[in-house]
Homo-oligomer: A and B are copies of this chain.
Amino acid sequence: MLVEKLGEDNLIKSLAERFGGRHSRLLKGIGDDTSVSVQKGASALLVTTDILIENTHFKRGSGSPFLLGRKALSISLSDIAAMGGQPLFFLVSLSLTPGTPKKYIDELYRGMAEVSRESGCALAGGNTAKAGSEMTVSTTVIGETPARRVVYRKGAASGDLVFITGAVGGSALGLKALSSREGLPLKRVPWKESVRRHLDPTPRLEAGQALAKARLATAMMDISDGVALDLKRLCVESGKSAVIYLGALPVSDELKAYGERTGKSPLLDFALTGGEDYELLFTSPEKNLRKIAALSKKLGLPMTPVGRITGRRKNGQTVTVLGEEGEPMELKKLGFEHF
């Protein structure tokens, strides 16, 4: 069955049914003009919104609607993680081309519902509309955190170390693998772990909350457009400059293997400037190194120092990249920009 036969109210209804579980703070979810929820005076409210556009952010022929549903929610959860927050609810706007099969939407909802359960982030509202030629999935996530614990981008201090969770560059390799094999079934696309990282990124909610709670991060953000560009954004908000050590960037075994096979270092084009890793980038004074190592071990998630905040931001370069021999590098681009 195609969505054009379904009716708008039925589409919304099937969304509501898919997400059975209620949230104790949610007084009303789908079925009214707005969501209605309980406020908690001692906490700060966090709100973020993202949009995934067909052919810009995803192709219908690559990946699967199930993974697209997961990703649409996960990337907004990643923003909540980057503030040290706890997700509460989300709303979703779907614009669909009339020829979309109902099964495609069911799978998309199933992916969202799975991440919703994993993260405790309940569905609070949604709407659907007709698109002409490109479908879009727009997600708004509402979260919170004790007011004094919010970790902004602006808190980096001179001398702080710059850390990265997990590994970077995998998502960009996954995208490259998908693009060069467009139309192939997912099973037959190589670099499987990287493809998975691209199609199904993990929001670092636990790490973000733990870093905030232990007051280990002076500034934090998630890496969505590449380490270099996002570190520049963090520096701009903090009024600081920074160096990154290219050779220190944590990369996956698969990305290393790709580098060896092609004979080119994957550090520059993938780890430094590739987008959509959704790892956390944070700064912390050097004295916290041991505590961060202990937290990293406890969570089973690497937290690697990759650079340093060098001082006040002046005219000129905000982020300096030092190559594997310690030489300053000229970059053609810092990361992914839409325009």
Binding site for B on A (CB under 8 A): 3-9, 11, 27-28, 31-51, 53-57, 79-80, 82-83, 85, 89, 91-93, 95-96, 98, 124-134, 136, 138, 140, 142-144, 147, 150, 152-154, 221-222, 225, 233, 237, 337-339
The residues of B that contact A47 with a CB separation of less than 8 Å are: 34-35, 37, 47, 89, 91, 124-125, 140, 142
Assuming the contacts A130-B56, A136-B95, A153-B32, asked whether A337 and B7 have C-beta atoms less than 8 A apart, the reply is yes
The residues of B that contact A339 with a CB separation of less than 8 Å are: 3-8, 11, 96, 98, 128, 130
Number of copies of this protein chain within its complex: 2
Among candidates B3, B45, B49, residue contacting A37 with C-beta atoms closer than 8 Å? B45
Most chain-B Cβ atoms within 10 A of its Cβ — which of A40, A95, A130? A95
| Residue pair B79, A34 in contact (C-beta under 8 Å) | yes
Q: Distance in Å from the Cβ of A46 to the closest Cβ of chain B?
A: 4
The residues of B that contact A126 with a CB separation of less than 8 Å are: 49
| Residue pair A132, B85 in contact (C-beta under 8 Å) | no
Among candidates B56, B82, B153, B222, residue contacting A95 with C-beta atoms closer than 8 Å? B56
Assuming the contacts A51-B93, A132-B133, A138-B93, asked whether A38 and B147 have C-beta atoms less than 8 A apart, the reply is yes
The residues of B that contact A225 with a CB separation of less than 8 Å are: 8
The residues of B that contact A45 with a CB separation of less than 8 Å are: 35-39, 45, 142
Give A221 to B31 CA distance when docked, in angstroms: 11
| Residue pair B128, A338 in contact (C-beta under 8 Å) | yes
| Residue pair B79, A129 in contact (C-beta under 8 Å) | no
Q: Distance in Å from the Cβ of A335 to the closest Cβ of chain B?
A: 10
